[in-house]
Amino acid sequence: MATQGASLDTIQDFLAQKRIAMVGISRDPATDSVKLFEELCRRGYDVVPVNPNTAEVQGQRCFARVQDIQPPVEAALLMTKPEVTETVAHDCAEAGIRRVWMYRGVGKGAVSPKAIAFCEEQGMQVVPGQCPYMFLPDAAGVHRFHGFVRKIIGRYPRHASS
């Protein structure tokens, strides 16, 4: 059975990776995926865009699949629809990616229970359904507030030993 969330340790380990694939990034520069891509790049991450429907995002080469990325990445942030997430989780396993984050801002996000279970069965670290902004130092006020509210209601991730 899949867990309901990742520990803060798993989240911090994911964010400690400086080369991350962003799977399902949009071609539309006004979307949350492109804004998060830009923010991570500003923070020094080497974010590798993955979208089979475009050759370039924000001036960077875009890969069709995570298996095509060279040199390979250690982590993948999935911005996909839930019905695509399971396939992408399998792609990540095939590519040797051991850290997967299924983005969720508002709505379902990329979270797929089958994909979570698959990742766990493969021994992959999975962050199911969090917004990375909440965990970035000095994030904008709305993201800090969102994290604060989640702490109050007991839905903010804790360290594994807590």
More confident residue, 137 or 18: 18
pLDDT tops 80 at residue 147: no
pLDDT tops 70 at residue 64: yes
Q: For the chain, list the domains and their CATH numbers.
A: 8-152 (3.40.50.720)
Cβ neighbors of 16 (< 8 A, separation 6 or more) are: none
More confident residue, 113 or 109: 113
Structural tokens at position 17? 């990776």
Q: What percent of the chain has pLDDT over 90?
A: 63
Q: What burial class does residue 92 get, using C-beta atoms within 10 Å of its C-beta: 0-12 exposed, 13-18 middle, 19+ buried?
A: buried
Q: Is 8 helix (H, G, I), strand (E, B) or coil?
A: helix
Confidence band of 120 (pLDDT split at 50, 70, 90): very high
pLDDT of residue 109: 87
Where are any strands of DSSP class E within 18-134?
19-23, 46-50, 56-57, 60-61, 75-78, 99-103, 125-130
